[in-house]
C-alpha cells in the first residue's frame, strides 16, 4: 500500500482531532504541538505498550519518573553544557539559520536553501540546544537551570538509589517516559522535530565485558518491537549504524532505527552504547561512587550502558503514516487507519441503525455503557450508518457494533471489523466479552457483506 504524503496526514490529524498547532488562536508556536482527543489516546496507548513490554513483562527492568528540572551541575558534568550543540550556518542575506548537516555541500560553495544567494552562508558555528530558565525569584547566573534535553540523565543520577532499593544485579535496566526540550533551530516536518517532545528511554546497565552482546540484543529487540507490537511494516524500517563523525559526545556506537517518512529515511529511535561515560562523569562530578560490586571478580566495576531511546511524537507520526490507506470501493473512497486494536484511540463504536427508533437507541446506549466499563467505547447516531462506518474507519476504530431492527427480536447485534468490513452476529449479552477478546487479539471469524464493500451501507 503506497505511503501517504505529509499533507494528507497533517490534514487528517487536524480534521479528526489527533494533533493541533499549539496556541493556534494566537498563530501557533513553531515546534510546539497539542494532542487532541484522539491524539492523546493514541499517544497514551503507544506509551502503555512500551511500558508494558519494557517494564511490566520483564523482570530485569524497573521504572522511574524523575524531575524535568535538575541541578544544573548534572548538565555540566554530563557534557551537555559544553557539547550538546548543533553546528549552525547563517545566511548573511536572508538572516535565516540552518543546521549544517542539512546542507548539501560546504557553505562556501552552495547557495542559501532559502534565498538562493551564493557566498552568503557563514562557516558553521555551535549553538547549544538546551532551554534555559531561572529557578527562584532572582534572574542571575546563580539561578540558571535547564529544561532537560534527554530523560536519560534523571536515570543516571538515580542509579545508586534504584540499585540499592531494588537490590538488582547486573544486567538490569531503568526505564522512563517523559518530556524533553530542545531549542531546535529548524523544527519541522509536523511532529517529527519539535522543541517540546516526549521520550521513552531505557538505560540498561551491563558488565563492561558484555557490552557488544547487549548492544546487538537491544538493536534487534527494538526493531522487533516496532514490527510485532506496534505493527509497523518491516519494509519501511531499516537499521543505520552511525558514522564515527556523527556520534553523540557520549556514544561509542549508535544504530538508528529509521522509518521511510515522506521526507526520506529518518531516525525514529536510536540505540546507543554509552559505555561508562555517564556514570564515570557523575561519580567524578558528585564525589559519590556510582559503581557496582562484581562478586565474581571481587571488585567494583562501573557498569556500561546500552540505551534504546525513542521519541513518542515520532512514534505517533510513524503510526499515522504506516496505518493510513485510501481504498477505492465500488462506489466510494474510504480512508482507513489500520491501527492495531491495542493502539487504536477508540476500540469500539456502538451505532444504532435507525436513530429515530427509541428502542434501538436505548439498546445501543446500554451496550456502549457496558463496553465503556472495560475499554474505550463510543456511541454515535449523528449520521447514516455508512457515514458512521467511514468516520470510524478514518480514526482506526477496529470494531463497530450495529443495533438493528432484528436486535429487537433476536436479542443480538452485528460486530463489524474495520479492515475486512466483514461481520459477526453476536448475542447482546456476549458482545462486551467478544469485543474484549478481539481487542486482545482473538481470531476474527466474520463473514462478508458485499453491500458495504460496494459502498452502499
Binding site for ligand GAP (CB under 6 A): 150, 152, 182, 184, 193-194, 197, 199, 201, 267-270, 307, 309-311, 313-314
Peptide bond into 201 cis (omega under 30): no
Residue 150 or 381: the one with the smaller Cβ distance to ligand GAP is 150
- Return the number of other C-beta atoms located less than 10 Å from residue 279's C-beta: 24
Closest-CB residue for ligand GAP?
311
Max distance between CA atoms of the chain, in angstroms, equals 80
Question: Are 427 and 415 in contact, with CB atoms under 8 Å apart?
Answer: no
Residue closer to ligand GAP, measured from CB, 307 or 424: 307
Q: What is the smallest separation between the CB atom of 256 and ligand GAP, expressed in angstroms?
A: 7
Least CB distance to ligand GAP at residue 451 (A): 44
* Residue whose CB is less far from ligand GAP, 90 or 267: 267
287 DSSP 8-state letter: S
Name the minimum Å distance from CB 152 to ligand GAP.
4
- C-alpha–C-alpha distance, residues 274 and 276, integer Å: 6
* Residue with Cβ nearer ligand GAP (250 or 379): 250
On whether the CB atoms of residues 16 and 38 are closer than 8 A, the answer is: yes
Nearer to ligand GAP, 99 or 355 (CB): 99
Q: How far is the CB of 150 from ligand GAP (least distance, A)?
A: 4
Asked if residues 148 and 165 have their Cβ atoms less than 8 Å apart, the reply is no
Residue 299, all three cell numbers: 571488585
Q: How far is the CB of 140 from ligand GAP (least distance, A)?
A: 29
Query: Residue 259 CB, nearest distance to ligand GAP (Å)?
Result: 10
Burial class (CB in 10 A: 0-12, 13-18, 19+), 444: middle
Q: Would you state the cell numbers that stand for residue 449, as one nine-digit string?
A: 457483506
User: Of the two residues 58 and 242, which places its CB atom closer to ligand GAP in the complex?
Assistant: 242
CA distance 164 to 183: 35
Amino acid at each position: 500500500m503506497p505511503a501517504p504524503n505529509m499533507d494528507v496526514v497533517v490534514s487528517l490529524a487536524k480534521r479528526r482531532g489527533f494533533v493541533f498547532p499549539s496556541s493556534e488562536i494566537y498563530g501557533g508556536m513553531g515546534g510546539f504541538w497539542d494532542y487532541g482527543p484522539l491524539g492523546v489516546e493514541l499517544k497514551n496507548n503507544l506509551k502503555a505498550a512500551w511500558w508494558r513490554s519494557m517494564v511490566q513483562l520483564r523482570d530485569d527492568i524497573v521504572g522511574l519518573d524523575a524531575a524535568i528540572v535538575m541541578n544544573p551541575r548534572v548538565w555540566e558534568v554530563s557534557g551537555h553544557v559544553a557539547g550538546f550543540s548543533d553546528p549552525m550556518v547563517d545566511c548573511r542575506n536572508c538572516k535565516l539559520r540552518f543546521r549544517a548537516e542539512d546542507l548539501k555541500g560546504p557553505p562556501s560553495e552552495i547557495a542559501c536553501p532559502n534565498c538562493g544567494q551564493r557566498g552568503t552562508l557563514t562557516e558553521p558555528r555551535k549553538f547549544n540546544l538546551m532551554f534555559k530558565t531561572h529557578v527562584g525569584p532572582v534572574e542571575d547566573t546563580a539561578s540558571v537551570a535547564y529544561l532537560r534535553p534527554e530523560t536519560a540523565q534523571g536515570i543516571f543520577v538515580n542509579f545508586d538509589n534504584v540499585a540499592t532499593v531494588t537490590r538488582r544485579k547486573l544486567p538490569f535496566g531503568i526505564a522512563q517516559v517523559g518530556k524533553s526540550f530542545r531549542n531546535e533551530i529548524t523544527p519541522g516536518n509536523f511532529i517529527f522535530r519539535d522543541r517540546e517532545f516526549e521520550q521513552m528511554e531505557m538505560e540498561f546497565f551491563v558488565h563492561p565485558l558484555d557490552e557488544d552482546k547487549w548492544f546487538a540484543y537491544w538493536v534487534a529487540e527494538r526493531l522487533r518491537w516496532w514490527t510485532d507490537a506496534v505493527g509497523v511494516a518491516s519494509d519501511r524500517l531499516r537499521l543505520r549504524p552511525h558514522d564515527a563523525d556523527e556520534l553523540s559526545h557520549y556514544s561509542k556506537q549508535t544504530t538508528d532505527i529509521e522509518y521511510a517518512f515522506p521526507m526520506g529515511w529518518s531516525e525514529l529511535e536510536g540505540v546507543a552504547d554509552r559505555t561508562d561515560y555517564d556514570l564515570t562523569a557523575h561519580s567524578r562530578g558528585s564525589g559519590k561512587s556510582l559503581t557496582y560490586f562484581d562478586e565474581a571478580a571481587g571488585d567494583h566495576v562501573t557498569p556500561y550502558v546500552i540505551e534504546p531511546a525513542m521519541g513518542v511524537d515520532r512514534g505517533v507520526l510513524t503510526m499515522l503514516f504506516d496505518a493510513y490507506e485510501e481504498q477505492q470501493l465500488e462506489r466510494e473512497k474510504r480512508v482507513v487507519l489500520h491501527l492495531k486494536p491495542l493502539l487504536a484511540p477508540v476500540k469500539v463504536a456502538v451505532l444504532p441503525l435507525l436513530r429515530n427508533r427509541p428502542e434501538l437507541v436505548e439498546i445501543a446506549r446500554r451496550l456502549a455503557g457496558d463496553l465503556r466499563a472495560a475499554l474505550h467505547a463510543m456511541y454515535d447516531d449523528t449520521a447514516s450508518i455508512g457515514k458512521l462506518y467511514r468516520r470510524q474507519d478514518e480514526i482506526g476504530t477496529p470494531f463497530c457494533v450495529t443495533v438493528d431492527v432484528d436486535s429487537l427480536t433476536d436479542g443480538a447485534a452485528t460486530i463489524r471489523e474495520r479492515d475486512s468490513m466483514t461481520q459477526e452476529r453476536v448475542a447482546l449479552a456476549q458482545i462486551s466479552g467478544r469485543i474484549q477478546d478481539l481487542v486482545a487479539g482473538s481470531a476474527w471469524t466474520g463473514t462478508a457483506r458485499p453491500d458495504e464493500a460496494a459502498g452502499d451501507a
